[in-house]
Amino acid sequence: MEFMKAIEERMSIRSFKDKDVDDKLIEKILYCGNCAPSGGNLQPWEFIIIKNQKTKRKIVDATFIGNDFDGLKHQEWMMSAPVFIVVCADVERSRARYGKKAEESLIYLDCSACIENMLLAIVDLGLASCFVSGYREKELIKALSLPVDIRPLAILPIGHADIIPQKRKKKEVSAFIHYEDFGNKGL
């Protein structure tokens, strides 16, 4: 697929066919994530691949919908995905070089670049996903038995799209452009 087409076609999919995702495709997705830029080339990411239904259930039970952080509603749609990849950050790997700034922002910046590469690779490979960040961190850490310096940043349920929603309209990029300083919207 052409790169620009992958960017334009990427969307959040929340319904998947009952069809496995080939391990070779998962490897390609992880490879693309690992190609992302990172501060000092530290590559602070760690990937956890989940196919087991019981583990997937624990992960889904740690999710929430909207701003109902402590609510009983979870993102049940995720269970239809045959595989999850949880992208985590190794805080200590980044902190050793960048100190507190690593924890405050760098791990999020670095891992977000990694996640975007993965999301675009998923589209390019004919698969679908959704960037899930609505979870209770302590519950997810427990579900995945994460060590103290490994922080979960995103869950990517991956599969073959079943129901493809209508593409949401994006604002024109011109609405976000400023020249020389924030107060100048035009040339």
- Computed over every residue of the chain, the mean pLDDT equals 93
Is position 186 within any domain?
Answer: no
What was the pLDDT predicted at 156? 99
Identify the domain containing residue 130 by its residue range: 3-83+97-162
Q: What is the CATH number of the domain that holds 78?
A: 3.40.109.10
pLDDT category of residue 168 using cuts at 50, 70 and 90 = confident
39-60: per-residue pLDDT in tens?
999 999 999 999 999 999 999 9
Is position 181 within any domain?
Answer: no
Is position 175 within any domain?
Answer: no
CA distance 143 to 74: 15
What was the pLDDT predicted at 163? 85
Is position 173 within any domain?
Answer: no
Residue of higher predicted confidence among 44 and 187: 44
Is position 101 within any domain?
Answer: yes
Is position 174 within any domain?
Answer: no
> Which residue blocks in 85-136 are alpha helix, DSSP H?
91-98, 100-101, 107-124
C-alpha dihedral, 48 to 52 to 53 to 58, nearest 10°: -40
- Give the count of domains, the chain: 1
Is position 134 within any domain?
Answer: yes
Is position 129 within any domain?
Answer: yes
Quote the pTM value: 0.92
